[in-house]
Amino acid sequence: MDRQDRIRNFCIVAHIDHGKSTLADRFIELTNTVAKRDMSAQLLDSMDIERERGITIKLTPTTMKYNYKGEEYTLNLIDTPGHVDFSYEVSRSLMACEGAILVVDASQGVQAQTLANVYLAFDAKLEIIPVLNKVDLPSADCEKVIKEIEDIIGIPAEDAPRISAKTGLNIEEALQRVVENVPPPHGDINAPLKALIFDSYYDSYKGAVSMVRIVDGKVKAGDIIKFMQTGKSFEVTEVGIFAPKNVECEILRAGDVGYICASIKNVSDTKVGDTITLLENPTPMPLDGFKVAVPMVFSGIFPLDGSKYEELKEALEKLQLNDASLHFEKETSTALGHGFRCGFLGLLHMEIINERLEREFNLDLITTAPSVEYKIKEVNKEAYLISNPSFMPSVQSIESMEEPMVKMEIITPPEYMGNIMDLCSDRRGEYKNMQYLDANRTKLSYIMPLNEIVYDFFDKIKSLSKGYASMDYELCGYKESDLVKMDILLNGDICDALSIIVHRSKAYGRGRSLCEKLKEVIPRHLFEIPIQAVIGGKVIARETISAVRKDVLAKCYGGDVTRKRKLLEKQKEGKKRMRKLGSVELPSEAFISILKIDD
């Protein structure tokens, strides 16, 4: 048997929480890839934040050896994220594989992201192996779920392995199915090198590390490689595989999944989706790259301490290497100083990036309210996009404005349908279609403005349906809309970081609740502070923070000065964390309070 015939590259796709990462753990255990004592649950979720939240954010590859019918197979598994925000990560891992295990929860059945992810796998022309997970649960109904997979997705599932990743039931059967059904990689080891970068990260010792799938040819340390998109060349210092920690090896050959280090200092030189070839014997045709991830949600990120701007810049650059979907550019705000306007795939992505910046780079940040990207047509000018409300021109010069729309699919048990439909129409959703998947689930389709779902739509859907409904959306173009820019005035000064673009019909309610929220979070000052929401010079809502009239420390009883000093020092620390806008001091919560309002 040929070497290449004994390689299988596959990934696992599923709806969030259907058990991908746990199944990956079982595979790793079964193949003894990791010694028992080093094993921990959700092994491939290496980031703290992934473990804490119980979700997978980054794709993580691992190489396993598996004996089947007397042959030793090399299985390259790529665990992928399931949350809707990270479908971009999914699509990238799919490109490095020939097959995908489709995990479906036998008690929950097909969910919105099961569909979204399985369509991505179809697009990548992967062999799909359906697997029913959690069959040990009393609520599992395998027959029903099999029927769903066949009806809704349209692939045969009659003899799908019925497993329980938790208890370890029938795991081997699933692995055997991978060996039998997933086709081996069909590259030519003698052709010029062609390697696809499906991910990269920064290592402080080795520089930028590219995670690659070798399509054709071979590569080893000492080779001079060339990045076809950037045109730059480097000498390879190390190649290796993931087991799942990096393990150096001599050579990577067609069909392999591994990493390449080449002392690359600059993070932007290793673009995800680029093709690597050899300088001396290049391939004439690069591989198809990935479609560039389109950021949908934008927000300003500013260092709490203005002098940390450079650190923030470096941190973002490093994260970007690890997370190709993160976009950022410089932004200057009168309230917050220098920072960056960042583009994210969604709100969860935004939260995660924030948390990673704070944790991994030890930065204290202020994040402004998320916005989407609007298209503005000014009189006698080309239409252009803006994502920062403070760049919106005055009303007079705007001819028309468009906002991004999404195609929203929500799968829900019928009893919550009413609530969800109310929510959707409240969020300016346009009803398109309803489809009964079975007696217990209905698929609702809407066209909705993205602007209405970026804040809390997902949380709302979950709470309205007691967690049973699932959703997925994709961008479907722009639509003209009656949008206005709402500014917030604090003590008469505009706070640019609090400006938002909002639909006219929503402006009044949003303005009022934002003023109320700000009144809660801004501490009282020595003077009275009016908070006003203003549209084009007209005040639509107002709250007033009354002045402090009593703030005096009691007597220094018996000379206990220390306690009072410490109290003052603590208050002073608190003040340091405030941003000064004109005469008003704002706590950093004020800038995200906009997220927390309920209108």
Region from 187-195, 216-224, 478-486, 564-572 binding other proteins, contact rule CB under 8 A: 564-572
Select 265 or 555, whichever has its Cβ closest to other proteins. Answer: 555
512 Cβ contact list (under 8 Å, min separation 6):
533, 540, 541
One-letter identity of residue 12: I
Select 538 or 550, whichever has its Cβ closest to other proteins. Answer: 550
Select 439 or 526, whichever has its Cβ closest to other proteins. Answer: 526
Q: Which of 69, 380, 572, 598 binds other proteins (CB under 8 A)?
A: 572
Select 462 or 564, whichever has its Cβ closest to other proteins. Answer: 564
Rounded least distance, CB 558 to other proteins, Å: 6
Report if residue 380 touches other proteins, rule: CB under 8 A: no
Angle at 576 between CA 575 and CA 582, to 5 degrees: 75
Rounded least distance, CB 204 to other proteins, Å: 35
Contacts 24+ apart (CB under 8 A), 461-469: 461/410, 461/412, 461/420, 461/423, 464/416, 464/419, 464/420, 464/423, 465/412, 465/413, 465/416, 465/419, 465/420, 466/416, 468/412, 468/413, 468/416, 469/410, 469/411, 469/412, 469/413, 469/416, 469/420
Q: Which of 123, 528, 560, 599 binds other proteins (CB under 8 A)?
A: 560
Residues 575-594 that bind other proteins (CB under 8 A): 575, 583
Select 573 or 598, whichever has its Cβ closest to other proteins. Answer: 573
Site string for other proteins, 229-268 (x = CB under 8 A): ----------------------------------------
d(CA 195, CA 258): 10
Describe the chain by its helix, strand, coil percentages, rounded to 5. 30, 35, 35
Select 224 or 567, whichever has its Cβ closest to other proteins. Answer: 567
User: DSSP secondary structure string, 21-68?
Assistant: HHHHHHHHHHTT-S-GGG--TTTT--SHHHHHHT---S-EEEEEEEEE
Select 53 or 525, whichever has its Cβ closest to other proteins. Answer: 525
Select 359 or 575, whichever has its Cβ closest to other proteins. Answer: 575
Map tokens 């009883």 to a residue. 557
Q: Which of 162, 571, 579, 595 binds other proteins (CB under 8 A)?
A: 571
Report if residue 332 touches other proteins, rule: CB under 8 A: no
- Measured in degrees and rounded to the nearest 5, phi and psi for residue 81 equal -75, 155
Select 288 or 528, whichever has its Cβ closest to other proteins. Answer: 528
Rounded least distance, CB 527 to other proteins, Å: 7
Q: Which of 317, 558, 577, 581 binds other proteins (CB under 8 A)?
A: 558
CB-CB neighbours of 29 under 10 Å: 16
Per-residue burial over 320-334, b = 16 or more CB atoms within 10 Å of its CB, e = otherwise:
bbbbbbbbbeebebe
Rounded least distance, CB 567 to other proteins, Å: 9
Rounded least distance, CB 547 to other proteins, Å: 8
Region from 36-44, 120-128, 488-496, 524-532 binding other proteins, contact rule CB under 8 A: 524-532
Rounded least distance, CB 22 to other proteins, Å: 45
Strands (E) across 57-98 are located at 60-68, 71-79
Rounded least distance, CB 553 to other proteins, Å: 5
Rounded least distance, CB 583 to other proteins, Å: 7
Total binding residues toward other proteins, as defined by CB under 8 A: 26
**Two tokens, residue 446:** 């809407």
Residues 525-554 that bind other proteins (CB under 8 A): 525-527, 548-554
Q: Which of 53, 564, 577, 596 binds other proteins (CB under 8 A)?
A: 564
Among residues 172, 164, 144, the alpha carbon closest in space to that of 22 is found at 164
d(CA 187, CA 254): 6
**Two tokens, residue 15:** 């709806």
**Two tokens, residue 545:** 């923070």
One-letter identity of residue 114: T
Binding site for other proteins (CB under 8 A): 525-527, 548-562, 564-565, 568-569, 571-572, 575, 583
